[in-house]
């Protein structure tokens, strides 16, 4: 029975208390918009450290997004720093509609976030060569905007339920609007273009780029009613053109049941994930992201953390996901104890595991990121 309890404890896993806390950075005043800067810097981290930028969704905040996923716990373990921008709007949405934010260095929220990154590099020991961006919904839209307009800064990008760069443009939108512009046609999945047209639009936002773009992984739920599922395909068209790769194959039930991995080229530059029966909130899968960033080696064994984060691949790890197998193992190990006692212990473990998964989301979706060589080092851009 003790062996079974040890098995269950290993499977569920726990994180130690955070070594630090999320802190506002009031001294950041480089703007040009009023977005606020928050940082999480582990108590012990080597400089220069990778920088992971986590961009919240609408109706959210830096603090809320800080608690949404396990990036801070992983930062403590793997030695990176976290930047959480916070939108200065009445609904918490980011400006991904104005020309100022879509075009490089024109004064929108995108430029403010870039200036935060540069500030984190200069003041908090960040590594400009290892800057990675992840975001959900409005934050995912901003993620694609940043990757297109500032590919010399963003080395990897993960978009959870977003839209293509430029899709959300609104003709009369300006920076600093109390309520950022909303493009209903784009949100409804009615804006469609060819891959070449999407690529041309993104390139226009940074005319001086040398043609290199970050690797990108894009995730979307098939039941998304906020930003229509059609935006997954449109985003993949855009980034396949920017990265110069074509679709090669689908891999079903990967990384977990109900998900289809859409591979472009050899799968090292662009991958899409279609999440069957998942709505607008595709849950964060932090270990997968950090492996894609290169912060965690792709072949690293992080089983305990994967279970805690809901990262286990049910198809690849049947024992970890099959209650019958666990009960069977428990019965053998328990020996003299009754099957009823062993089954009760197994049920309690499975219940805890289910609660952990529910805290992460309804389905075990995963996303990833992007890598590419840095070009020039930017200076802080004045407001």
Closest CA to 14 of 304, 362, 230, 340: 304
| 3-class DSSP assignment, residue 263 | strand
CA distance linking residue 143 with residue 149, whole number of Å: 10
Among candidate residues 287, 230, 243, the one with its CA nearest the CA of residue 73: 287
19 in catalytic set:
no
Residue with tokens 């197998």: 325
Active-site residue among 89, 98, 136, 137?
A: 137
Omega into 244 within 30° of 0, i.e. cis? no
Vertex 86, ends 72 and 373: CA angle to 5°?
A: 65
- Strands annotated E in 150-269: 156-160, 215-221, 247-252, 259-264
Tell me the C-alpha distance between 324 and 299, whole Å.
Answer: 28
Structure tokens at 266: 């050899």
Find out whether the peptide bond into 32 is cis, omega within 30 degrees of 0: yes
- DSSP letter at 363 equals S
* Residue 329, SS3 per DSSP: helix
In the chain, count H helices and then E strands.
Answer: 14, 10
Long-range pairs, 299-302, Cβ under 8 A, ≥24 = none
Indicate the pairing of strand 36-40 with strand 49-55. Answer: unpaired
Rounded CA-CA distance 26/36 in Å is 8
Instruction: Measure the CA angle with vertex 71, ends 68 and 75; round to 5°.
Output: 155
Q: Which residues are catalytic?
A: 137
């Amino acid at each position: 029975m003790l062996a079974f309890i040890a098995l269950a404890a290993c499977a569920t896993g726990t994180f130690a208390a955070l070594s630090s806390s999320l802190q506002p950075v009031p001294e950041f005043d480089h703007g040009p918009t009023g977005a606020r800067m928050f940082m999480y810097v582990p108590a012990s981290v080597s400089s220069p450290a990778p920088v992971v930028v986590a961009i919240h969704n609408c109706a959210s905040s830096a603090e809320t997004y800080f608690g949404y996923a396990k990036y801070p716990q992983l930062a403590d373990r793997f030695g990176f720093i976290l930047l959480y921008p916070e939108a200065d709007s009445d609904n918490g949405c980011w400006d991904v509609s104005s020309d100022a934010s879509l075009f490089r260095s024109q004064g929108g929220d995108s430029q403010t976030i870039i200036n935060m990154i540069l500030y984190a590099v200069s003041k908090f020991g960040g590594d400009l060569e290892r800057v990675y961006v992840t975001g959900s919904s409005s934050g995912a839209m901003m993620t694609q905007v940043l990757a297109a307009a500032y590919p010399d800064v963003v080395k990897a990008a993960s978009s959870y339920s977003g839209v293509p760069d430029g899709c959300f443009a609104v003709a009369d939108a300006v920076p600093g609007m109390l309520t950022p512009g909303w493009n209903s046609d784009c949100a409804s999945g009615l804006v469609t273009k060819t891959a070449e047209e999407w690529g041309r639009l993104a390139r226009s936002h940074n005319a001086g780029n040398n043609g290199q773009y970050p690797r990108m992984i894009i995730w979307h739920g098939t039941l998304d009613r906020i930003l229509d599922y059609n935006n997954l395909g449109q985003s993949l068209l855009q980034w396949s053109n920017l990265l110069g790769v074509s679709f090669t194959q689908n891999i079903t039930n990967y990384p977990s049941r109900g998900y289809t991995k859409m591979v472009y080229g050899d799968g090292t530059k662009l991958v899409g994930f279609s999440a069957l029966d998942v709505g607008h909130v595709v849950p964060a899968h932090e270990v997968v992201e950090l492996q894609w960033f290169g912060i965690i080696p792709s072949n690293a064994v992080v089983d305990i953390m994967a279970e805690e984060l809901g990262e286990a691949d049910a198809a690849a790890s049947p024992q970890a996901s099959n209650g019958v197998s666990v009960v069977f193992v428990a019965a053998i190990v328990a020996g003299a104890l009754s099957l009823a006692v062993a089954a009760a212990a197994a049920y309690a473990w499975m219940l805890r595991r289910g609660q952990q998964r529910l805290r992460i989301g309804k389905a075990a979706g995963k996303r990833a990121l992007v890598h590419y060589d840095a070009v020039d080092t930017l200076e802080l851009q004045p407001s």
